[in-house]
């Protein structure tokens, strides 16, 4: 499976998850229903931007693999974009999803 096929597979999975999440939010009655269309529009637009960014990243990666040299300013922008995506990704994790915090104390035996 090449990178483009993997991307298409992930996109299909993400779309299915997005629809499942939207359905679940609607069933839970999140904001009385009248705010949900805006929320769905926001999710849809975010997903479109991520899809576009992923496709551009794959195309740029292919050009680099074929020997195309990026100017230093373009390399800088790629690194900054990677940092921005990592930062956005980290916002999806919270401590509440990690379960209870456990501490382990090791005591030396007293003689």
**Straight-line distance from the first to the last Cα atom of the chain, in angstroms, rounded to the nearest whole number:** 63
d(CA 111, CA 101): 32
Give the per-residue pLDDT at 23.
Answer: 61
9: left (phi over 0), alpha (psi -120 to 50) or beta: alpha
Give the per-residue pLDDT at 28.
Answer: 57
Domain that holds residue 18: 1-26+44-63
Q: Taking residues 66-71, report their average pLDDT.
A: 94
Query: Residue 98 domain-assigned?
Result: no
Give the per-residue pLDDT at 41.
Answer: 82
Number of domains composing the chain: 1
Tell me the pLDDT band of 67, cut-offs 50, 70 and 90: very high
pTM of the model: 0.50
Quote the percentage of the chain above a pLDDT of 70: 54
Query: Residue 55 domain-assigned?
Result: yes
Give the per-residue pLDDT at 32.
Answer: 45
d(CA 27, CA 5): 33
Query: Residue 3 domain-assigned?
Result: yes
pLDDT per residue as tens digits for the range 6-39: 666 666 666 666 666 666 566 555 544 444 556 6
């Amino acid at each position: 499976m090449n990178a483009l096929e993997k991307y298409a597979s992930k996109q299909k999975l993400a779309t299915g998850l997005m629809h499942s999440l939207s359905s679940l939010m609607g069933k839970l009655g999140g904001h009385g229903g009248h705010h949900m269309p805006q929320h769905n529009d926001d999710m849809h637009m975010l997903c479109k931007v991520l899809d576009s960014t992923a496709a551009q990243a794959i195309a740029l990666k292919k050009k680099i693999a074929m020997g195309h040299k990026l100017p230093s300013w373009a390399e800088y922008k790629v690194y900054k974009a990677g940092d921005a995506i990592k930062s956005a990704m980290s916002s999806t994790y919270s401590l509440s999803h990690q379960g209870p915090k456990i501490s382990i104390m090791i005591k030396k035996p007293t003689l």
